[in-house]
């Protein structure tokens, strides 16, 4: 089998896109996608294909893809299921690299649809054309403003350019996650929805990301794996360079049945899958929030070399709750609180008010200023007793403000720093500021703590951190 990497280069550098089934009716899917591509400012060329129109939105409309003179990299197919085979045949003839089949009505609907999928596979066999989908919302590449999704932009926000790749077997979950990521200002390097995944699969993408210089970490939602061996190899290779977080659902008997009804996927034994992930060095998420949270902590932080965590806070209660959560066993294990030496303690003691705590968690109280915070970070980063720092950056007291962002940014180069912020009024704008600077900040104590455990888990699997 030919490596998929050169082919995926075409996909991620698409210049000319045809829409087979484009429509002038903005209420129809073929109209929504055409409008999205134009309005979003896709940097390449769009070629509408539909025998019923001369032109759409001022662009010449072709009666068939064969009429187009230019080379087509990507064809988006928005036709009824029974018309898709013929369109794919034409794509093969035109030597289109990728056919993104938006249409539903395939294996997810039963045996007749499954037969249609087999037909499609036969058509592309031995050709240079690859299929994405069917039953997919397609691909989103913010760096070239290519968005094949059928969701109008007035209903969902799409993230800007970022360093995290998102691959999802479910289209809706992927779109909803991107909407959520946008709210925080988190960008993506790409989004691809596998849909029924009859050809291009999650492993092809992992192979591509290995050398993709736009991607630092990978988020993947899957209900099943197309090819276990290929998946394991691709995952093991990519995780050496790019931390990968996998949300695999369908783990119980009941949910496996639900998954089958959703994308026709047969999910395998969960314990086996769990072992595969661990051996391949991938981090597992147990829900959609962890998927997003873990991808950020892994993309933004340096290596975590051990499990000893220092906590710094201006609110004593937050320090106590986080200590509970850090030292309790959850999905990604448990961590330890650093034990400070006398010299560390006395260095901290000299910086804080008498009733503040110089032990770990370091509680600089509501009296604590950004300046004090910085001096303590300096001590913690230099200390041999500390592997990572959980930093409460609570903007609600008089001496804390947004200048905490560059301070934490400065020290986050040397050791992992995970930020937790609670509240809303000043908290939400501050969370966005941290995210903009590439610092993993979370609006809850648990989310920060679980993310730090995921970070530790990733480096422990790579053999880099003591356990």
Site for its own copies in 96-155 (CB under 8 A): 104-105, 108-110, 113, 151-152, 155
Stretch binding its own copies (CB under 8 A), from 212-220, 271-279, 296-304, 313-321: 313-321
Nearest partner of 407 among 440, 386, 384, 376, judged by Cα: 376
Cα-based distances in Å from 95 to 24, 75, 130: 26, 10, 10
Instruction: Note the helical H segments in 111-220.
Output: 111-124, 171-184, 202-210
Q: Binders of its own copies: how many residues, by CB under 8 A?
A: 81
β-partners of residue 5 are none
Q: Which stretch binds its own copies (CB under 8 A): 210-218, 238-246, 298-306, 437-445?
A: 437-445
Is 381 a binding residue for its own copies by CB under 8 A? The answer is: no
Terminal Cα distance for the chain, rounded: 40
Residue from 194, 199, 239 nearest 215 by CA: 239
Q: What SS3 class is residue 141?
A: strand
Q: How far is CA 274 from the centre of its chain?
A: 19
Give the residue with the Cβ less far from its own copies, 72 or 256: 256
What is the DSSP annotation of 345-357? Answer: HHHHHTTS-TTSB
Among 16, 45, 85, 157, binds its own copies (CB under 8 A): 157
Which C-beta is closer to its own copies: that of 129 or that of 193? 193
Our finding on whether 223 is near its own copies (CB under 8 A) is yes
Cβ at position 41, least distance to its own copies in Å:
19
Contact region with its own copies (CB under 8 A), list: 6-14, 45-53, 378-386, 442-450? 442-450
Residues 177 and 168: beta-carbon distance below 8 Å: yes
Q: Select from 10, 53, 428, 437 the one that contacts its own copies (CB under 8 A).
A: 428
Which C-beta is closer to its own copies: that of 308 or that of 460? 308
The string of DSSP codes covering 13-79 is: T--EEEEET--S-TTSHHHHHHHHHHHTT-SSEEEEE-TT-SEETTEE-BSSGGG--S--SEEEE-S
What is the smallest separation between the CB atom of 176 and its own copies, expressed in angstroms?
4
Q: Contact between 423 and its own copies (CB under 8 A)?
A: yes
Rule CB under 8 A: say whether 175 interacts with its own copies. Answer: yes
Q: How far is the CB of 267 from its own copies (least distance, A)?
A: 9
268 touching its own copies, by CB under 8 A: no
Restricting to residues 359-378, which ones interact with its own copies according to CB under 8 A?
359, 361, 363, 366
In whole angstroms, what is the distance from residue 15 CA to residue 23 CA? 21
What are the φ/ψ torsions at residue 104 (nearest 5 degrees)? -100, -175
Show contacts with its own copies in window 384-413 (CB under 8 A): 394-398
By CB under 8 A, is residue 274 in contact with its own copies? no
User: By C-beta, is 34 or 47 nearer to its own copies?
Assistant: 34
Query: According to the binding rule CB under 8 A, does residue 354 interact with its own copies?
Result: yes
Of 447-466, which residues contact its own copies (CB under 8 A)? none
* Measured CA angle at 4 (ends 127, 249), to 5 deg: 110
Using CB under 8 A as the binding rule, whether residue 244 contacts its own copies is answered as no
Q: Which stretch binds its own copies (CB under 8 A): 91-99, 124-132, 383-391, 420-428?
A: 420-428
């Amino acid at each position: 089998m030919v490596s998929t990497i050169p082919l995926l280069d075409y996909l991620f550098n698409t210049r000319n896109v045809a829409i087979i089934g484009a429509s002038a009716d903005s209420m129809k899917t073929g109209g929504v996608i055409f409008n999205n591509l134009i309005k979003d400012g896709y940097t390449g060329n769009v070629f509408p294909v539909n025998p019923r129109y001369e032109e759409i939105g001022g662009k010449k409309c072709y009666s068939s893809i064969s009429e187009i003179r230019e080379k087509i990299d990507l064809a988006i197919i928005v036709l009824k299921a029974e018309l898709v085979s013929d369109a794919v045949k034409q794509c093969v003839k035109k030597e289109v690299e990728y056919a993104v089949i938006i249409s539903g009505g395939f294996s997810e609907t039963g045996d007749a649809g499954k037969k249609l999928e087999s037909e499609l596979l036969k058509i592309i066999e031995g050709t240079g054309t690859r299929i994405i989908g069917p039953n997919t919302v397609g691909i989103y590449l913010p760096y070239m403003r290519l968005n094949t999704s059928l969701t109008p932009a007035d209903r969902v926000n799409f993230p800007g350019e970022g360093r995290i790749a998102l691959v999802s077997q479910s289209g809706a979950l992927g779109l909803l996650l991107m909407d959520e990521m946008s709210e925080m200002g988190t960008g993506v390097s790409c989004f691809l929805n596998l849909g029924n995944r009859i050809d291009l699969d999650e492993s092809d993408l992992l192979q591509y990301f290995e050398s993709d210089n736009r991607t630092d970490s990978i988020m993947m939602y899957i209900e099943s794996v197309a090819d276990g061996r290929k998946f394991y190899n691709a995952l093991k290779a990519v995780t050496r360079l790019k931390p990968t977080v996998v949300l695999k659902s369908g783990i119980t008997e009941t949910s496996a049945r639900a998954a089958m009804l959703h994308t026709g996927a047969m999910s395998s034994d969960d314990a086996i899958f769990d072992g595969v992930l661990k051996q391949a060095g991938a981090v597992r998420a147990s829900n959609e929030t962890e998927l997003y949270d873990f991808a950020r902590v892994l993309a933004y932080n340096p290596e975590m070399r051990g499990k000893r965590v220092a906590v710094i806070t201006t609110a004593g209660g937050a320090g106590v709750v986080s200590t509970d959560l850090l030292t309790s066993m959850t999905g990604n294990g448990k961590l330890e609180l650093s034990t400070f030496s006398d010299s560390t303690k006395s260095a901290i003691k000299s910086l804080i008010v008498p009733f503040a705590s110089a032990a770990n968690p370091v509680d600089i109280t509501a009296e604590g200023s950004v300046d004090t915070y910085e001096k303590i970070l300096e001590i913690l980063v230099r200390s041999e007793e500390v592997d990572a720092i959980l930093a409460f950056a609570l903007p609600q007291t008089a001496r804390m403000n947004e200048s905490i962002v560059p301070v934490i940014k400065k020290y986050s180069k040397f050791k992992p720093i995970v930020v937790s912020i609670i509240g809303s009024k000043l908290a939400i704008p501050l969370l966005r500021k941290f995210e903009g600077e590439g610092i993993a900040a979370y609006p809850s104590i648990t989310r920060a703590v679980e993310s730090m455990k995921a970070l530790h888990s990733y480096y422990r699997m790579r053999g880099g951190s003591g356990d």
